[in-house]
Structure 1
Amino acid sequence: MRLMVHLIAGFPSLAGFSEAARALHDGGAEILEIQIPFSDPTADGPAITLASETAIKNGFRVVDIFEYIQAAKDAGFKRIMVMTYANIPYRYGIARYIADMQKAGVEGLIVPDLLVEDEENFYALTVKQKIAAVPVAVFGMPPDRLALLKPFPKIYVALRSGITGMETCISADTQKFLQKLAKNHEVYGGFGISNAAQVKTLAPLVHAVVIGSYFTRVLQQALKDNTPIYQTIAKAVEELKG
């Protein structure tokens, strides 16, 4: 079972992020997806939106992401993805953004609101820089849209439409959809995964089960209760693994 876990850069702090990342790695997570917070997200649920807002209020800047990438490496992660919304690489400069992420050792870039055909040369530049672009597919996506994803070895699959953090049902149709994609792609599947039963069902169908809002909520509760971040996150990982 591979887990791809999600943390927000800047939340709750570099030290707190590092503790959470270390607990996730020690608990067996293989891939860390780090989100660059953005002020106007389109797919984030309440927990991630609040965490992003907090990070920005606390002074997080896009250039700070490299400290968090290093913290993830220091925690033991060898596979790191960076996720954010299109406005961030546009403002940073797409070519510079891709080059700097590649130099930092990032494996893949996820930009959920950047359509493949509206690439602004983003996807072509990732190929040139030898860093993976990871487009997002959504369960139920029509065949003509899925056809556009054929050139990409790695795909993030949102198991339903809407925002993160809401309950997700992994139906028989969802499973067929994932199995079809997994024939030609390395598939990371998530959106609303928050219990061991979901993880057990999803794990055989994907390269990695993606868990995001769940850990953000656990981290927020740890801060509220003033409980140790490492121990709280570590316990949450064990519960998810069943």
Structure 2
Amino acid sequence: MTRIETTFAALKKKQETALIPFLTAGDPDITTTAKLIRTLAENGADLIELGVPFSDPMADGPTIQAASERALAAGTTVEKVLQLVAEVRTDCQVPLVLMGYYNPVFRYGVERFATAAAAAGVDGLLLVDLPPEEAGEISGVLKKAGIAMITLLAPTTPPERMQRLAAAAEGYLYYVSMTGVTGTQKITPDDIRAAVENIQGMTEVPVGVGFGITTAEDAKAVGEFADGVVVGSALVKIIADNAGSDQLLPRVATFITELKQGLLA
């Protein structure tokens, strides 16, 4: 079993929901990101989505856009992100999913990327601007490398397409809880419960929910029906507000602990 499969299986046995925080690699710098990943893992993160910074992050709102800009200004590259994963893997086995856009991967070289990502210890890849129907160039090489290609589903996904994508999903499915970009709206759990449960009936892989989850109360409400909750913009904002301060890691640790406790309550 892969790290993703093992983690979700263990959580299912304990009847727990996965906490999946997102942060941007290289924000504020690569060295700090390594410390942040370890802090997340030590304080309750079950999986971690690591954003690969890109100059045109069309699915992201202002908070994560700014994080990408800071990371790029700090010199973050795909190569440095993979080196970061390899360094973290020396003492941290939490599943790591790279999340971003196809252009950086394409420019790096699809086969070269898959080989290097697998060697570094990447468990999954989520490319928000690459529809599964157009992912043939990369899906095969990722599968060969043992890296799950994570699929996005949205409220606007037509039922027939949703069923097809759900049936073919790897690792876990990421359900975007609302239309729009990240970090701009508040989630309403009751409005998405039926949709998530419907997707769960279409697939054998876990279903995680992201967009609009900012507090422990949000996490608890969504965790009552989802297999995982993804928290991005709220965490990225804490990182931005405390960058360069000795309070950064303690405040991130407190936030993640509160989210995890919300899921366990």
Runs of 4+ in 1 over 4 A off after TM superposition: none
- From 12, 31, 36, give the equivalent of 1:20: 36
Query: Separation in 2 of the partners of 1:125 and 1:19?
Result: 30
Show the counterpart of 2:100.
84
- What is the rounded CA distance, in whole Å, between the counterparts of 2:67 and 2:223 in structure 1? 27
| 2:164 is aligned with 1:145 | no
Once structures 1 and 2 are overlaid, which stretch shifts more, 73-82 or 195-204? 73-82
Counterpart secondary structure, 1:12: coil
Cα pair distance change 1:152/1:178, threshold 3 Å: same
CA distance change for structure 1 residues 75 and 4 in 2, over 3 Å: closer, same or farther? farther
Structure 1 residue runs of 5 or longer lacking an equivalent are none
Query: How many residue pairs end up in the alignment?
Result: 241
Q: Following the alignment from structure 2 to structure 1, what is the Cα–Cα distance between the partners of residues 251 and 18? A: 20
> Residue 89 of structure 2 contacts residue 120 of structure 2 at CA under 8 Å; is this kept in 1?
no
Once the two structures are superposed, what CA deviation does each residue of 1:82-133 show, in whole Å capped at 9, x if it has no partner?
A: 1110111111111221222122221111001100111142222222222110
Q: What letter corresponds to residue 187 of structure 1 in structure 2?
A: V
Name structure 2 gaps, 5 residues minimum. 1-16
Identical amino acids, percent of aligned pairs: 28
Provide the residue aligned with 1:180 in structure 2: 198
| CA RMSD in angstroms, aligned pairs only | 1.8
Structure 1: which amino acid aligns with 2:168? Answer: P
Counterpart in the other structure of 2:186: 168
Q: Give the TM-score of the pair, scaled to structure 1.
A: 0.92
State the one-letter code of the partner of 2:75: G
Q: Which residue does the alignment assign to 2:239? A: 219
TM-score of the superposition, structure 2-length normalised?
Answer: 0.85
Shift in Å at residue 173 of structure 1?
4.1
Which one is further off, 127-136 or 31-40? 127-136
SS at match of 2:92: coil
Opposite residue 250 of structure 2, the aligned amino acid is Q
Residue 133 of structure 1: aligned partner = 149
Amino acid at match of 1:58: A
**What amino acid maps onto 1:51 in structure 2?**
A
State the SS of the aligned residue for 2:71: helix
